[in-house]
Structures are given as structure tokens and as C-alpha cells.
Structure 1
Amino acid sequence: MVTPANEAQREAWKSGGFPEVERVRPGLWSIPVPIPVNPLRYVLVYALELPGGVAIVDAGWNTDEAYGALAAGLGIAGYEVTDVKAVLVTHIHPDHYGLAGRIREVSGAWIGLHPADSRLLHGRYDETGIDALVARERGLLVRCGVPDLTLDELAGASMMIRHYVNMAAPDRLIEDDDRLGLPGWDLRAIWTPGHSPGHLCFVEQERRLLFSGDHVLPRITPIVAVHPQSAPNPLADYLESLAAVGKFDVDEVLPAHEYRFLELADRVDHVIAHHEERLAEIEAAVAAANGVTCWDTATRLKWSRPWETIPPFMRRAANNETLAHLVWLEARGRLRRVPGEPELWFAG
């Protein structure tokens, strides 16, 4: 259990409300931007004051409501969208990247993104690349043993959210350990793959702050899944980068969702322990069946709600997250996979 940095922000999350625009520290603002039809409800955009403007960490979904909320929040801080000089995107999921292009059109801001995520833009959001991505996802789901009746629905389940992105190529590729050069801020990029191949955190060591995106959240854990655009073993990447981030000596963590919190190292330890428990649960489930598909394994696990009540998009995420754990166990010789359609998993 971590300590919230602002109790009112935590209470807004718990109550299903919407937190206030907040001056976190001199020169730093937290602006909640709504996410449509999503249990996360909002993304926290952070505005960093610069001479003559602001830089923002993440942007929100590309909806008029989100744009209006961002503009209103910047107004409370004394700025307009036209004052945005830079958009530092932690990763390319729509609630973080979706508005970046629209903001650049209005303000001329530069957009920064890690190269590993930049390489995925065409296949994920361009009309000419999306059919191939859906076909690759369908093939992965076939190998996982997804039933024919739900196969096409699950393969295209994320198509609804791609319309919340104004696709824009980055102006700047941000590498691991890059210093961003924002006047008045010594902001350094930390490459933290796992939730996405190019996920970035930003650390400000003089102010003892970590902008953690989705990498470290106070209550929930980010989805780490195998999918057509993921790394081969994303859970291994995530756990390695999570441990690395946990070594930073900061006073406060500023995540993209829920609420700001203290005790970074404790939270990192808790998340690592959660995945160790999940790995043991999945290993035991495979050993009990000994010759089971990824899909059937996923249906036997404990989730936050009964499996039959999980909507299709989240069932696909659950399947692909289960696959990430299976792949991690396979890489360590604790499970083995027999190729086929579907693939079958056995105790190592």
C-alpha cells in the first residue's frame, strides 16, 4: 500500500469522480483529461512551465471533450494550447498519444517518442497497415486456441479505439538516458519497455520526481502482453525495467492514471511480487492440465471479475497477458510449448 501524495486526488479516484486541476509544485501542473467509455476514466497530463510556454507529458485521447478539458486545465494554469512547446509521449496508446498531433497543429509543438514505439505507428494507426495487423492478431489468437465463434470479434476488438488518435510522426526520437533540454528542468528519459516496446518514464532528479506513465501505477498494474507488435518476451523486459526504475531515489511518483504517490521502491517490489504470484498460478494451471492452450489457461485464472462478464477487448488482453507469462516461463525452462494450431503448453 503506497501513500497518496494528495488525498483529495485519491478520494476522487475511489469515488468514481474526477480530480481537480492541481498545481503540484511551483511550475508543475496536473490536468485530468477524460477517456471515453473506459474504466480508467481519465489520464493525468502534466504541464511543466517553461519560459514563454509549457511542455506536457502525454496528451489524452483525440476527442473534443478531451481537448476541451486539456485546454481548460491549461487555462487554469495561465496558458493556452497555443503555448505548448513540446509533447513528451510516454507511449503510443491512444490515451497518451491520441491528441499529440492535434496539439502540434494548433501550437507548433514538437512531439517526442521512443524509436521502438515510433516504428509501430504505421501498422497500428495508418489505414494502409491496419488490415495486416488484424490478420497477424487473428493468427496469434488461433495459435492460442481462441474458439472460432469469438475469433474474428477478438481479432478486431481494438479497432474502435484507433479513431481516437490523430496519427502524427514524432519530430524527435527520445532514446534511453536522453536529457530533454527543457529550460528550467533537468528531465531525463528512462526507457522502460514492457507495457509497450517504447514506453518512457521521465525522471527529474533535482526535484526528486518520476513521471511514470503507465509503467508504475499506485493501485493497478499495466497490461503486459504478447501481441503482433510486442517484443518476443515483454514480461521479461517489463520486470527488468521495473527493477531499474525502482532504484531511483525520488520523493514522488507522477503516474498517468489514478493518483500521485510516494514510496516508489515499495510499489515496485509489490508489483514484482504480484507477477511472481501470477507466474506460479499459471505454471500450476498448466501442470494440472498438461497439454492446455493459452486461452483455456486464461479462463482458469482468477481475474478481477468473472470471466463470462469480461468484454471481448479485455478478454483478448487477458489472453495475451497470459501468453506473456507463459513465454516468460518457457524462456526459463519451467514450461514447454508444442507448436500447432493451437499450441499446447506442458510442464517443463
Structure 2
Amino acid sequence: MSSNGVRTVRPTSAGQQAALQSSRLPRPELVADNVWAIAAPIPEGSVTYTLSYVLLSSDSACFSILDPGWDSPGNLEALHRSLGLIGLTLEHLSTVVATHHHPDHLGIAATLRAMTGARVVLSREERAVLTHQLSPELRSPASYSRVLEAWGVPAARRGELTAAFARPPAFSDIEPDLLLDDGDVLDLGSHSLTALATPGHTGGHLCFADNERKLLYTGDHILPQIHSGFGLGSRPGDKPLPDYLTSLQSLQRFGGYEVLPGHEFRFRGLDARAAEICKHHLRRTQRIADLLPELGDASVWDYACRLHGAGWPRLHGFFLHAALRQTELHLELARSGLLEGLVARCPEPGTETNTGDFPSVSAGAPG
């Protein structure tokens, strides 16, 4: 339900919804002709699994996997088990597709390629994002120390953030076999997927539309209940929050499709859910804007303390970092002069998405 009581999401998988409510992995289930949903366990964090999608050829001689999940022995074991229940084995895997580079989506792709020879597919922009995320300059402790200073993080809290930063990244470098751009059609035999650039969560995130089956694979761009973070992997010059809002609105033409997200459960109600997510983020930006007369040039830390209120003391490590980063992005938008226009173009949850485009603010950004 949205904040105004309008039902925005209609679950289409009772099994996935029940599994989510009981904190267990959902069983493999048939979504559509030659499309299966399986669960890839995540070894850490509050989200316990990724929804992966197995796309079979018409004769079941080979198959592809979209967002295969974490690179861990547990996930590999779960993958063998799930495929066995469908009547498949990894030796017939032909293609691994990832919506973005995060370890719970792309993670095990390199391992699967080494085991089977399957090709790996990623967006061209996301490949550049991954390179930047692993660059020595970005991973430098001195560089991160400057970030913490710029955010105004108190000395007493920098240690935990630095310790979290010092952990090796959970994702690794990989050279895809095929790079996709917005609008490219990925031919997977009996499946034809149109790549849709949806930057925001990461700079090169892709959704995929199966126009024959009326399915939309959304990765972490649109989830039925969770509000995905944004700016969790971008490059200098990117504008993650405005780009995310623009990307939400760009999917309006798929309002009648069933949504196959990267987590939680399958659903219908894309337009209303996208509008709800848009309103959620714009409300946070408006709260920051309302604080500008009082806080002025105060630090990101000061704004974050006020934005998160009573929940602020409970944030630690990576989650504290993510809250600061996203507060920084809300603050940038609040100061940009774009907020009023974005609010005017964001429809009310429970209504059809309007046809006006959000203004693009990433023209000239790298890539």
C-alpha cells in the first residue's frame, strides 16, 4: 500500500511472497513459456536472496541465466539444486546476463564462465562503472579520508567507516564477452530481450523487456517493496538521483507488463510502483530543501542526522556510508534548482504515469 492507502503492487507469485514473509528461499517456479525464476542465496546482509531467471531455448537444449547471484559455494550449490529441479545441468548454460555489477547480481558470472564457457553480457556503461569502482584512486584510503572530511564526519565515527571501506570489495573485475547499449536487442534463441538503460542505482544499470511474453526484468531498478538505493556505483559527472527518477519514468510504456525484479517477488502495477518510488525520493529531497534556510552550508553529516532522525544512531559501517552518500545526492538536487520541475512531473501513486519526460541532467557525462 502507498502512503495514501492506494494499492500499488499486485503480487503475481504467492510462493515468492510467502517465502519472503517467512525468510526462506522460494522454490523454482515457471513464470512463462520457457522462463523460470530461481533463488540465489546471499551470504550476508538483510536481503537473503537474489531472484535469478533461467531462460530456456525452445528445445531445452541450452539456457541462459539473468542475474546469477553471489560468487559463493552456497550459491553454486543452490544453483545446481534449482537447475536439477527444472531438469537442467550447468553444462548446457550458454549465456550469463547481468543487470548491473553488484555482487548479488553479476557475482558468480566469472565462475560460471570458467566452468561452462558461457558468455557474459553486461552494459557498456556498467563495464566503465566497474572499472572506475575498482580503480586504485577510488580505493585509496587517503582518497576516502578526504571524502569523510568533506562530509563532516566526526573523528569518533571515521574509524568504523574506514574499516568498512578497507574491506576488499565484494565484486571483482570481469571482461564481458558482449557489451550492450540502450535499445540493443539481445538474441537468446527463443528469447529476444531489449536492453533499456536505467541509470541511477548504478551508472550503467539495465532493465530488459521481453516484448513477446510481456515481461520486464528490472534488476534493482524497481522492487515491489524495497526502495533501492541510488548512486551505488557511478562515475564522475553522473547525476544518480535525477537519472534514477528519469529512468523510473522512462519505463511507462511497459505498464502492462509483469515485473520480474531482482529481489522479493514478481508483481504487476509497474506505473504505480514507479510513481510511489519517485515520490519517496522526492519527499526526502524536499525535507533537505526545507532544512536549507536553517542549516545552510552545514555538512552532509549534519543534514543526514536531521534527515534520518531517530534511526540515525542505528546506522553503522556500509549502511552509514550509504546514508551519507545518498544525503549528499539529495542535497545536490535540493540546491540544483531542478527539484520543482521533478516534483511537477512525478505522478501520484495509484495513477497512470504521465507522458512528460523528466529533464535529463546527464548530458555530457562520461560514457
TM-score, normalization by structure 2: 0.84
- Give unmatched runs, 5+ long, in structure 1: 336-348
Structure 1 position 207 matched with structure 2 position 213: yes
Instruction: Provide the C-alpha distance between the structure 2 equivalents of 1:291 and 1:165, rounded to a whole number of angstroms.
Output: 35
Instruction: Provide the C-alpha distance between the structure 1 equivalents of 2:138 and 2:206, rounded to a whole number of angstroms.
Output: 28
Judged with a 3 Å threshold, the aligned counterparts in structure 2 of structure 1 residues 168 and 296 are, in CA distance, closer, same or farther, namely same
Structure 1 position 57 matched with structure 2 position 63: no
Give the equivalent residue in structure 2 for 1:113.
Answer: 122
Contact persistence 1:135–1:155 (CA under 8 A): no
1:212 is displaced (CA, Å) by: 0.2
For 1:178, the aligned partner's letter is D
Give the equivalent residue in structure 2 for 1:277.
Answer: 283
Instruction: Provide the C-alpha distance between the structure 2 equivalents of 1:55 and 1:294, rounded to a whole number of angstroms.
Output: 43
Judged with a 3 Å threshold, the aligned counterparts in structure 2 of structure 1 residues 18 and 333 are, in CA distance, closer, same or farther, namely closer
1:86 is displaced (CA, Å) by: 0.7
Judged with a 3 Å threshold, the aligned counterparts in structure 2 of structure 1 residues 333 and 196 are, in CA distance, closer, same or farther, namely closer
From 315, 322, 328, the equivalent of 1:310 is 315
Contact persistence 2:109–2:120 (CA under 8 A): yes
Give secondary structure in 2 for the equivalent of 1:306.
helix
Give the equivalent residue in structure 2 for 1:22.
Answer: 29
Judged with a 3 Å threshold, the aligned counterparts in structure 2 of structure 1 residues 310 and 188 are, in CA distance, closer, same or farther, namely same
- Give unmatched runs, 5+ long, in structure 2: 2-8, 341-367
Give the equivalent residue in structure 1 for 2:273.
Answer: 267
From 71, 76, 94, the equivalent of 2:85 is 76
Instruction: Provide the C-alpha distance between the structure 2 equivalents of 1:251 and 1:93, rounded to a whole number of angstroms.
Output: 25
Contact persistence 2:201–2:233 (CA under 8 A): no
Instruction: Provide the C-alpha distance between the structure 2 equivalents of 1:113 and 1:226, rounded to a whole number of angstroms.
Output: 17
For 2:317, the aligned partner's letter is P
Instruction: Provide the C-alpha distance between the structure 1 equivalents of 2:232 and 2:217, rounded to a whole number of angstroms.
Output: 25
Give the equivalent residue in structure 2 for 1:340.
Answer: none
Return structure 1 stretches of 4+ with deviation > 4 angstroms.
Answer: none
Instruction: Provide the C-alpha distance between the structure 2 equivalents of 1:232 and 1:120, rounded to a whole number of angstroms.
Output: 10
- How many percent of aligned residue pairs carry the same amino acid? 34
From 141, 147, 150, the equivalent of 1:140 is 147
Instruction: Provide the C-alpha distance between the structure 1 equivalents of 2:249 and 2:165, rounded to a whole number of angstroms.
Output: 30
Instruction: Provide the C-alpha distance between the structure 2 equivalents of 1:76 and 1:231, rounded to a whole number of angstroms.
Output: 46
Give the equivalent residue in structure 2 for 1:326.
Answer: 331
1:72 is displaced (CA, Å) by: 1.2
Q: Deviations over 1:286-329 (max 9, x none)?
A: 333223111111111237x7211222110100010111111112
Instruction: Provide the C-alpha distance between the structure 1 equivalents of 2:79 and 2:118, rounded to a whole number of angstroms.
Output: 15
Judged with a 3 Å threshold, the aligned counterparts in structure 2 of structure 1 residues 71 and 253 are, in CA distance, closer, same or farther, namely same
Judged with a 3 Å threshold, the aligned counterparts in structure 2 of structure 1 residues 270 and 131 are, in CA distance, closer, same or farther, namely closer
Contact persistence 2:199–2:205 (CA under 8 A): yes
Give the equivalent residue in structure 1 for 2:294.
Answer: 288
1:80 is displaced (CA, Å) by: 1.4
Instruction: Provide the C-alpha distance between the structure 2 equivalents of 1:102 and 1:226, rounded to a whole number of angstroms.
Output: 24
Contact persistence 2:71–2:107 (CA under 8 A): yes
